[in-house]
Amino acid sequence: MRLTELVTDLFYNPINPEELNKDFLQNSMGDYWSANIEDVTQSSGATCQISSFGSFSGSALTVREVTMTLDATPTNLAANDWLIDMATGIIWGKVKTTPTSAAVAIYQYRKVGTDNNSAPSGSLYKIDEEHIPANGSRYTYGKEVDSSLYKLKSTGRKHHPNKMLLFGSANAGILGNHTLFPDNAWYTHYGETLLKIHTGSNDIGAVGPLVFGNDDSSPFLVEEVVQNCTPDGTTSLTVQDSSVINIGAYINKGAIANTNPTVSAGTYVTAIPDSTTVTLSSAASGSAGSVRFVTKTNKKNVHLHSLFRQYDSAKLGSLTATGTHADLSAHSLVVLGNFDVEDADGRRATAGESTYSLTSLNLECIDSDVDMVFPMYNGIKWGFYGTSSGQHDYSSIDGGFSGFKFIVYSADIGWRPIADDTDKSAAGNKTYKQHKVSHKGKYNYLRHLDLTGCYLVPLHGKDIDNNTISGSFPTQRTDIYGGNLSEVIYVVSHVYDTTTSITDDEDFSFITLDREIAANTQYKIMQPSPVCMWPNSPKEIQINHISAKYTKMPESDRMYGSINDFGYKEGSRRDREFGGASYNLPNNNEGISSMYVIVDLDNRGGNGNTVIRNTSANDNILASSTTNAFKGELCLSDGETNLVTGASISKRLGPDVHTITLEERTKLLGVVSCSEIFELKVNGSVSRDTKRAMIGTSIDISKESEALVEELFTENNISFSLVPSSYPIYTSPDFQGTSLYILAKYLLSLKNKTMFDNAGVITVVEENSSTLMSKFEFDDSNIIEYELVDSGFDFYNEIILYGSSHKSVKKNVRSINEVGRKTLEIFDKKLTTQSEVDKRARELLKIHNTETTNLEIKTHIRYAQTISSGDIVSVIINQENIERNLYMVLEMKYEISGQTTLLLGKYSKSIEDRFAEILLANKQTDSYIRRKDYVENEKAFDFFEDIKIKEINLVIRKRTATGQTVGFTSTLNTGTTTLGFGSGVTHTVLSEEDL
């Protein structure tokens, strides 16, 4: 599995850093509007209270007018202001005319209160008419007094959440200066430089995609105050009233020097000692005169969206906002691609260029209307490294698709020290660690993100030369061989703290980790990448190695290699890798890092981790020493794509790292299984496009429908004729209790076929085959007599059909209205899909809902010699105006007179099947409800051989002794035979017969 750094757009939406969607646009934030709700005050400053209401007038259908009496005359209520109920946050009225007394004429829209049925009472609140947006905007109203309103300059326009303007220098004398860049479209359009406020340290920066409009209805942004001031030649400046000036306020928007008093460009207020004095960042001289201070209004604590809270906490110009919601010191900015901008010049932004860490969100004036953008500085310089100032490229400007990356530093508050009460018992006798981290300050990004399922990867390990990279100071973050120094940590849970009451604007996240976070260690935030391997991934994959070389560049098939600095002419990341001059400087061009880890489902590593965290556990899985390397073929599979390639697995020391070397690569998704090749012999060939064989998988063995019919007929010794279709349909429905006839009909119907008895041979034909057409016709010429008779076939106008798991209801509404509802409920468990159930229900409704009168005709035998029951015949009787129609011969009666009576039923397609089904219905029901768990042999053959015990014959004879006996004639003892001899014995057959 490959872990890749978590990257978000500038609005904290997680994005895939390997795939850049340049065409994506999100709705303008200007579509969302929040109102500033204010108290309606009286001259004393107290909030006005509602005393009573008069009688309503006007039409109830439109707007009702009423006079509302307050306890005092309001001082800030004007016509068209909206009246707000704070209990429910709804607008309940509108001021009709600006009041001059305590009686206020209003339009009342509705009642209020928690029951939505009370008259407004108590304190009166309003939204100023100026703050009400034009129709078409989306209204979202705040409920709090301090809630703020934001307006974007480009209301209604969509923007790309990653688009930023990158520039080599924020210096007002360079960027956007028409003198230096005559073709500068910015200057041509606006007649002034891009950014008005700057400091020398912020040489290179980036401007975010939002442009805030500034006007009187925008308390969030910039206020301008003009005062008469007197300089004294120092940084101290005497003003009329310092209470309306904020620390950080710039003079003349910072970009323009002031005359009388003389103040240089970029000067701002650093302190306010007393009510008439301010301290400036540079000395003011000259004579007294008016000075325009530009400042940002004080931030509000209540916002409808946390992003607005972040923007509101931003400081003007280069003032940092660390410790606030605008703190970006755990953020770094990374370029994913570039786009053309006006006056693009110099080096182009390329993917991978990134900052070390930013400082805070800033606001800058960009034109004379003091519209605002938010540039981001990294506190040092964008892309700066090296000591050769001559290599700096301040003049470059380009558009850059950029994103945020984040770090966690365990030395910060909330992460360590680990308190005992952070222990959380978990399944498997484990103990997790829970941290409570504030959103106010460095980790404000936790408010916008859910880190559940991410990994904290320590920047603590070895470089390629086995030098230890300290976790406390990330001097080299591009290539770290993670070993046993610090382990990867899994974020089990990240939830918003809903238990701590918010007294200020500070709230918290609870982050539960599966192990203790190491002391003084920087962690990258990584998450499983949707793509494990790309075709151009390195051949050698080092496990637990943090590197951008495993990450694909957006808009390219290549992986990150050497990354140039945006603001540096010739430098590259490689300068640091090989001990260049900037080797120990913060790495600000690291690209997007990835790290391969082993997923160990069977605990082969031995420490119970599903994702292997350290080198020693990898010893048990990959290679325990440098001498027992594996070499052979491996199969890598993501379940869809298989890659069989020659591979080797080895281990090296100093730094300790396991390497998997693959001869071939391809795109593999998610968690890739890696296994040695072995042969599996199967009985027969695998004819389908089978991608994988899984041990233990469950399969559904089914046969092709026509092949199954053939087998069933053959097994039951039924003669049949079937020409298979050229296409297969596989099915395996539940056939228990189904008769062979219905089963065969169903299987054939899947291919739009049916069958009929053709002189003892079941013949399968297409449903539309001509063999099913009628070949007999009766009309006036051969009908002797006819009679309409009532049919025994049931009439239904509603069919409810239950399949194995679907239900279909078909009804003839017209018939229901005429004769009432007659419902037939049918259970047919062999129907397994909704379409099958619907189709069958439709057929049944057609059959049962047609005319049920039968026709009995008499004809001469010669017209019906070859007709038998079940045949389809055509009948037309012009005399009685009976139109030609198809009938089925239900019954035939032959009479001695030579006449034949045919009972004909109105024929409807598949009605013959329906008859068969009805006949078999009871048997089917009994069979279906029998138990399914009988132990039985699928094939049982009984042979009956006879063994006969046969009586052959009977002989009865008489034995008689004759003549004289020589010797004794007496018998001996008790015997009956006489002693002596001489007498003869005669046998006389009395009877002899064969039996």
Task: For the CB of residue 982, give the shortest distance to other proteins in the complex, in Å.
Answer: 15
Instruction: Give yes or no for residue 993 binding other proteins (CB under 8 A).
Output: yes
Part of the chain binding other proteins (CB under 8 A), chosen from 188-196, 237-245, 939-947, 965-973: 939-947
Instruction: Give yes or no for residue 681 binding other proteins (CB under 8 A).
Output: no
* Dihedral sign from CA coordinates of 636, 642, 648, 654: negative
Residue with tokens 């209003």: 106
Element (DSSP H or E) covering residue 913: helix 911-928
Instruction: Give yes or no for residue 759 binding other proteins (CB under 8 A).
Output: no
Part of the chain binding other proteins (CB under 8 A), chosen from 241-249, 595-603, 674-682, 984-992: 984-992
Question: What would the x/- binding string for other proteins be over residues 886 to 925, using CB under 8 A?
Answer: ----------------------------------------
Task: For the CB of residue 953, give the shortest distance to other proteins in the complex, in Å.
Answer: 5
Which residues have a Cβ under 8 Å from the Cβ of 820 and sit 6 or more positions away? none
Task: For the CB of residue 985, give the shortest distance to other proteins in the complex, in Å.
Answer: 10
Amino acid at 589: N
Residues 960 and 985: beta-carbon distance below 8 Å: yes
Task: For the CB of residue 988, give the shortest distance to other proteins in the complex, in Å.
Answer: 9
Q: Report the residue number, 677 or 990, with the smaller CB distance to other proteins.
A: 990
Task: For the CB of residue 644, give the shortest distance to other proteins in the complex, in Å.
Answer: 56
Q: Report the residue number, 257 or 954, with the smaller CB distance to other proteins.
A: 954
Which residues have a Cβ under 8 Å from the Cβ of 697 and sit 6 or more positions away? none
Q: Report the residue number, 929 or 954, with the smaller CB distance to other proteins.
A: 954
Q: Report the residue number, 932 or 959, with the smaller CB distance to other proteins.
A: 959
Task: For the CB of residue 959, give the shortest distance to other proteins in the complex, in Å.
Answer: 4
Residues 811 and 796: beta-carbon distance below 8 Å: no
Amino acid at 448: H
Q: Report the site for other proteins in 344-373 (rule: CB under 8 A).
A: none
Task: For the CB of residue 950, give the shortest distance to other proteins in the complex, in Å.
Answer: 5
Task: For the CB of residue 974, give the shortest distance to other proteins in the complex, in Å.
Answer: 13
Q: Report the residue number, 711 or 992, with the smaller CB distance to other proteins.
A: 992
C-alpha distance across the termini of the chain, in Å: 90
Residues 881 and 839: beta-carbon distance below 8 Å: no
Task: For the CB of residue 994, give the shortest distance to other proteins in the complex, in Å.
Answer: 9
Part of the chain binding other proteins (CB under 8 A), chosen from 90-98, 141-149, 151-159, 985-993: 985-993
Task: For the CB of residue 968, give the shortest distance to other proteins in the complex, in Å.
Answer: 16
Q: Report the residue number, 138 or 957, with the smaller CB distance to other proteins.
A: 957
Task: For the CB of residue 939, give the shortest distance to other proteins in the complex, in Å.
Answer: 22
Element (DSSP H or E) covering residue 754: strand 753-758
Q: Report the residue number, 770 or 974, with the smaller CB distance to other proteins.
A: 974
Which residues have a Cβ under 8 Å from the Cβ of 936 and sit 6 or more positions away? none
Q: Report the residue number, 938 or 946, with the smaller CB distance to other proteins.
A: 946
Q: Report the residue number, 939 or 987, with the smaller CB distance to other proteins.
A: 987
**Closest of 226, 586, 108 to residue 380, by C-alpha:** 586
Element (DSSP H or E) covering residue 313: helix 306-313
Task: For the CB of residue 957, give the shortest distance to other proteins in the complex, in Å.
Answer: 5
DSSP 75: S
Part of the chain binding other proteins (CB under 8 A), chosen from 367-375, 815-823, 892-900, 940-948: 940-948
* Size of interface with other proteins, in residues (CB under 8 A): 23
Q: Report the residue number, 688 or 950, with the smaller CB distance to other proteins.
A: 950
Q: 461 has which bridge partners?
A: 469
User: Which pair of structure tokens corresponds to residue 122?
Assistant: 């108590």
Residue 656 and residue 616: Cα distance in Å, rounded?
9
Q: Is 844 left (phi over 0), alpha (psi -120 to 50) or beta?
A: alpha
Instruction: Give yes or no for residue 216 binding other proteins (CB under 8 A).
Output: no
Task: For the CB of residue 944, give the shortest distance to other proteins in the complex, in Å.
Answer: 11
H helix intervals, 759-865: 813-819, 834-848
User: Which pair of structure tokens corresponds to residue 459?
Assistant: 């920047």
Amino acid at 263: V
Q: Coil, strand, or helix at residue 95?
A: strand
Task: For the CB of residue 995, give the shortest distance to other proteins in the complex, in Å.
Answer: 7
Residues 102 and 189: beta-carbon distance below 8 Å: no
Q: Report the residue number, 429 or 988, with the smaller CB distance to other proteins.
A: 988
Q: Sort 736 into a burial class: Cβ within 10 Å, 0-12 / 13-18 / 19+.
A: middle
Distance of CA 455 to the CA centre of its chain: 20
Task: For the CB of residue 989, give the shortest distance to other proteins in the complex, in Å.
Answer: 10
Q: Report the residue number, 930 or 958, with the smaller CB distance to other proteins.
A: 958
User: Which pair of structure tokens corresponds to residue 376?
Assistant: 């981001």
Q: Report the residue number, 677 or 995, with the smaller CB distance to other proteins.
A: 995
Q: Sort 645 into a burial class: Cβ within 10 Å, 0-12 / 13-18 / 19+.
A: middle
Query: Rounded to the nearest 5°, which phi and psi values hold at 508?
Result: -135, 165
Q: Report the residue number, 504 or 993, with the smaller CB distance to other proteins.
A: 993
Task: For the CB of residue 967, give the shortest distance to other proteins in the complex, in Å.
Answer: 17
DSSP 590: -
Q: Report the residue number, 413 or 956, with the smaller CB distance to other proteins.
A: 956
User: Which pair of structure tokens corresponds to residue 409?
Assistant: 């530093």
Q: Report the residue number, 601 or 952, with the smaller CB distance to other proteins.
A: 952
Give me the half-sphere count of Cα atoms (radius 13 Å) on the Cβ side of residue 482.
Answer: 29
Mark 213-241 as b/e (b = at least 16 C-beta within 10 Å).
Answer: bbeebbebbbbebebebbbeeebbbbbee
Q: Sort 515 into a burial class: Cβ within 10 Å, 0-12 / 13-18 / 19+.
A: middle
Q: Is 584 left (phi over 0), alpha (psi -120 to 50) or beta?
A: alpha
User: Which pair of structure tokens corresponds to residue 52?
Assistant: 């009573």
Q: Sort 301 into a burial class: Cβ within 10 Å, 0-12 / 13-18 / 19+.
A: middle
Residue 411 and residue 373: Cα distance in Å, rounded?
33
User: Which pair of structure tokens corresponds to residue 485?
Assistant: 């120094």
**Closest of 316, 372, 402 to residue 154, by C-alpha:** 372
Residues 651 and 659: beta-carbon distance below 8 Å: yes
Task: For the CB of residue 634, give the shortest distance to other proteins in the complex, in Å.
Answer: 60
Q: Report the site for other proteins in 53-72 (rule: CB under 8 A).
A: none
Task: For the CB of residue 942, give the shortest distance to other proteins in the complex, in Å.
Answer: 16
Instruction: Give yes or no for residue 987 binding other proteins (CB under 8 A).
Output: yes
Residue 77 and residue 39: Cα distance in Å, rounded?
10
Q: Report the residue number, 931 or 959, with the smaller CB distance to other proteins.
A: 959
Q: Report the residue number, 862 or 959, with the smaller CB distance to other proteins.
A: 959
Q: Report the site for other proteins in 942-981 (rule: CB under 8 A).
A: 945-961, 976
Binding site for other proteins (CB under 8 A): 945-961, 976, 987, 990-991, 993, 995
